[in-house]
Structure 1
């Protein structure tokens, strides 16, 4: 198929529309529950009070805003694909924003901005102190301001909105790759997302990974749990065809989340069995560098060690071939003397080259027939 034919085929699969809408119209759709802004996503977005005030400032000054991308569902409701934070900020300022439990959130009190310092402490309405309330004429300015809607129509291919969400929310976004995946999972299968989110709360996992605050804020613990679920039993032939690992994780978890045959109970049991035994044998040294000279573990969590130790132990638990527990810590430390590990575990080796070597290495290392 030629490039032109491929383009024409895909263009036919994605039906779009678009037109300008007033903020008042966006508000009406939200209040009639014809607009789903996915309040579950709020935990992933980290707009500062200054960014929120800056948005309101832009609207009042007449600065054009980017369009909001939505996907039209079969029931006619619009799913917000990109523009969540803009709409959430506006709705919170107006005092109508609801959290994921349907409870109204506290109204947003603005900060002063570069061009409008008098916005400091301003609320949309304040019955007790009317001087803090935004004047009615400025409320009308906001309600009448336009934000274009770009709509992926329900006639489009089902995967279109997920692809669109990922493209619009990566590259330059403040979200980490896993936070984008989490948002996708909420859209695809909220129940699966909730299940995935619970896995890294398992105490032995917390102990063995010993992650610092920053990775936890960016949902890296969920990414590690996801890597475990997707890679623990993967065939070696599949490992070699992974390519870009970020793309693989996103595509594969989208498939798994929609697969009714996926056995969550078995995956959870393997997760708990693996980190249970690692917590008993290695504790918080499980995924740290081991200095053969100093004979001690040093530094913080290393992904390459996780790929060998956690995935190697998991595979052998599942196969019934795991070595004796007393051997696990000794073998985990031995990898730092093995060139078959150290040559591929450096920061300069990308994951698509690293995984086909380290995962099989870990499976063999922790086998009782090693």
Structure 2
């Protein structure tokens, strides 16, 4: 079925210094800024964002404490602050977890009747937003592309399992992608988020919804990521590399939010719900295995072969393995989760949940539960 594409919200700003757009062009009366830990405070980004809002006549307040892999309890707490503060603009300043949590807070702020995670996940399509507030994202990492994405991933408070939801209504109105905001990322975060972006691009390429426009975006993003990620990883002060990674991550996001992803993300989201780990790290470990699995499909195999030729290799899976080594990412899950018995005890459940994940339906070939289990075990053992 043909689907309309949406390439970001109404305002997309990118490039060095683009944060100043707030001061000149983002009009609101009351802005709430949602952040995670202390990094955006320590590096002065939060103060600069508040300064720019104030210069444009807006009042600001800050909601702090969004954790990695945010839980619904955090979302509820943020929505409660919004209900009291009554902002007309919500600004997510941080990585993917902050942006995903803030989007979900926005849904609850606009529609207080959606007061449980189950209600939000089961309401399709989502009701209209923007009656109370517009939504803006300022990413501090180069990987998740939530600033141009219709998707969120939120963890269940009781089980810790991750649940994804996608709806074009959640596309941010304003995205400001300034590489200066990401320049303080430590090397391991640069690697993990960068490999997440590469996974977005490669999965979008072989998605069964892929199209002419999404392919142009995904190919350009993937080519730039394999070129510039090692440079950004080696030298975090290389502003050319930072800017190219910020732009490539955003571009990969424009592709995948329109054509969806595949089983790499299905498995990554599931496994990390049982054994907490950085999302980009598990995506990176799984990527060579999913490329090899999907190569059973002749269409996907040809796409991988054509892209591999563009970057000067004849084996894309092996290329990704070598790239992982170059940016300090292990080659198997066992190196992150050494307790083999604990991992194998939930293998079948992880396989079942991976099959049920929304990203699976756009994969070139859909594994059975036993095939998912075999694939996850292979990635575990290496």
TM-score above 0.5: no
What TM-score does the superposition give when structure 2 sets the normalisation length? 0.28
What TM-score does the superposition give when structure 1 sets the normalisation length? 0.28
